[in-house]
Amino acid sequence: MMKRVNKIAIELPYPEHGDMNAAAAVQELMGGKFGEMSTLNNYMFQSFNFRGKKKLK
């Protein structure tokens, strides 16, 4: 079971000037091709669709 918390663990300081390149890098790490959510979804999809479970038990 997963627990969802809708609160940031730490207070983040507001930047004086935005950095578009840094924001794009963070977004890529979180949800991009090799991001955490993509990896989690791939793992769950593969484990739920495992074929031949009865034969290998």
How far apart are alpha carbons 35 and 12 in whole angstroms? Answer: 21
**Is 28 marked as binding a ligand?**
no
How far apart are alpha carbons 35 and 26 in whole angstroms? Answer: 10
For residue 13, what are the contacts with CB-CB under 8 A and spacing of at least 6? Answer: none
- Residue positions forming the annotated binding site: 36
- Residue positions forming the annotated binding site for Mn(2+): 36
